[in-house]
């Protein structure tokens, strides 16, 4: 293998090479392969640094001929440094001999694949004809969630967005209205945003921000923000009222939206209906009537990162990108 090149792929290059439509297809297929037992994905390893207010996560996986690992950090206060709250690097390897084929930015991939997971959930769990979207949170993840939902839901008539900083929801409204050509308006409270067919939560909350009283029968919820132990966006009583679908049962139980209700005894493991992969693979049914409240608990899977990294790598091989010989 000496003389082979390891590609170095920047965030700008990843953005040019990756589209939401192909990420949606790749992520849905990854969910299905996982449900069929055709992927290897050890649990995330957390390195929590409380004195710095953040954590690192190591996420290794193998799927569909691709192996690698994402090293990702979550630092909610990074805005004061002019940095994203989530930053990631992906090491993409040849599983036949372990050679590192590429080292690439994983921050944009993280945003895109998480958005796509939400899109897959909407495709399989939201009521047909859903037209009003309520966004609770207006950061980077809210952007890709809405991008993906628009791809799978042609019936959107209105998007309402709430975030605690008024300037954030105003900026989101202005930017995304133009980018996606949708009717988007800011609202002043969670109640107004949650009066919707689909609710998307993308906050860093450690106490509930959306309550059962806010949510109508038949609503679908993408609970995206809770991705570490102690984080929670939905009231326990609301989670109890939901048909709970997760991306990975072990991971969600430890660090997803259900982690706090499970710890408090508000729900049991038996209350988890199944995984999104099981629904997408038709192993289990998705929405079964127009009155049930469905909730997708997304914690983010390494296999999602790898299938996106594969797309980027295959496209980058034909482009002029930086590279080096690791063994020279």
Positions marked active-site: 70
**Is residue 66 a contact partner of residue 101, using CB atoms and an 8 Å limit?**
no
| Nearest partner of 109 among 152, 79, 66, 54, judged by Cα | 66
d(CA 234, CA 224): 11
Nearest-angstrom CA–CA distance, 253 and 210: 20
Residue 174 φ/ψ, nearest 5 degrees = -65, -45
* Spatial distance between the Cα atoms of 124 and 80, rounded to a whole number of angstroms: 38
For 241-297, the DSSP string reads HEEEEES-HHHHHHHSTTHHHHHHTSS-GGGEEEEHHHHHTTSS----SSSPEEEEE
* 209: DSSP letter: -
Cα–Cα dist 73/55, whole Å? 6
**Is residue 135 classed as helix, strand or coil in its secondary structure?**
strand
Burial class (CB in 10 A: 0-12, 13-18, 19+), 40: middle
SS3 90: strand
Edge-to-edge strand ranges of the sheet holding 220-223: 184-186, 158-162, 132-136, 198-201, 220-223, 293-297, 242-246, 272-275
């Amino acid at each position: 293998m000496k003389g082979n090149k390891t590609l170095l792929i920047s965030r700008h290059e990843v953005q040019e090479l990756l589209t939401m439509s192909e990420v949606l297809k790749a992520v849905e297929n990854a969910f299905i392969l996982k449900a069929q037992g055709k992927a290897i994905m050890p649990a995330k390893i957390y390195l929590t640094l409380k004195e710095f207010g953040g954590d690192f996560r190591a996420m290794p996986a193998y799927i569909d001929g691709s192996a690698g690992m994402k090293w990702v950090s979550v630092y909610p206060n990074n805005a004061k440094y002019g940095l994203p709250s989530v930053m990631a690097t992906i090491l993409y390897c040849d599983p036949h001999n372990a050679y590192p084929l590429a080292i690439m930015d994983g921050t944009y991939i993280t945003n895109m694949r998480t958005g796509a997971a939400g899109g897959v959930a909407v495709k399989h769990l939201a009521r047909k004809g859903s037209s009003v979207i309520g966004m609770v949170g207006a950061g980077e993840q809210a952007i890709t969630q809405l991008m993906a939902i628009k791809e799978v839901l042609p019936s959107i008539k209105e998007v309402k967005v709430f975030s605690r900083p008024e300037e954030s929801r105003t900026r989101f409204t202005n930017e995304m209205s133009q980018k996606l050509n949708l009717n988007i308006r800011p609202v002043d409270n969670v109640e107004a945003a949650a009066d919707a067919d689909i609710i998307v939560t993308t906050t860093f909350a450690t106490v509930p921000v959306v309550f059962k009283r806010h949510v109508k029968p038949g609503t679908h919820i993408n609970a995206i923000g809770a991705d570490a132990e102690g984080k929670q966006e939905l009231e326990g009583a609301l989670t109890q009222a939901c048909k709970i679908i997760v991306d990975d049962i072990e991971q969600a139980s430890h660090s997803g939206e259900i982690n706090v209700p499970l710890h408090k005894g508000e729900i049991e493991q038996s209350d988890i209906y199944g995984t999104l992969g099981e629904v997408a693979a038709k192993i289990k049914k998705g929405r079964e009537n127009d009155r049930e409240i469905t909730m997708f608990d997304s914690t983010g899977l390494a296999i999602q990162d790898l299938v996106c990294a594969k797309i980027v790598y295959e496209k980058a091989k034909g482009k002029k990108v930086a590279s080096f010989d690791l063994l020279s």
